[in-house]
Amino acid sequence: MPARRKVDREEFARLDEAGWSLQELAAHFGVAVSTVARVRKSLGLSRPAPALAPETVARVEEALADGWSFKEIHRTIGVDMETLRRRWPGRQWTKAEAIDYTRRLRWFREDVAKANYALSASDLRKSSFVA
C-alpha cells in the first residue's frame, strides 16, 4: 500500500485563501480531490455553495410545474438533490399525481391519433375550422 502524502497545512491555507479550486489544490499536492475537500473542512475553510442563478431557478420552477421529479431535474439541469429538497420542499409530484398525469397524456395522445386517422385531408379542408 503506498504511503499517504502529507499536505502542508499552512501552504494549503494560503493557496485556498488565494482562491485555488479543489482540482488545482489536488494537482499541486498530488492528492485526490476528496482529500483536498477533507483537509479544507478540517481547517475550517469550507465555502458555502454558490447561489443558484436566476435562470436555473426559473428552469427548475418550470420543470416542477411540468411534473418532473427531483431526480429528473438533478440529471437534466444539474441541481443537487439536497438543494432541491431544501429549496422546494413538497413541490415534487406524488406518485399518484404523476401516474394520473401520465394516464391523461396517453389518453390525449391516443385520442388525437384516432382523430387524425379517422379524418382525411379532404375532410379537414371541409371542416368549419378552416375558413
Tell the residue number behind the cell numbers 382525411, with chain if given.
120
Assess if residue 18 is contained within a domain: yes
CB contact set of 39 (below 8 Å; sequence gap of 6+): 7, 9, 12
**pTM higher than 0.85:** no
- pLDDT, the chain, mean: 81
Q: What pLDDT score does 131 carry?
A: 47
Assess if residue 77 is contained within a domain: yes
Domain range enclosing 80: 54-87
Assess if residue 118 is contained within a domain: no
Q: Into how many domains does the chain fold?
A: 2
With a cut of 90, say whether residue 16 has pLDDT above it.
no
Alpha helices, DSSP H, located in the chain: 9-17, 22-29, 33-42, 54-65, 70-77, 81-87, 95-118, 121-126
With a cut of 70, say whether residue 116 has pLDDT above it.
no
- Enter the C-alpha cell of residue 12: 494549503
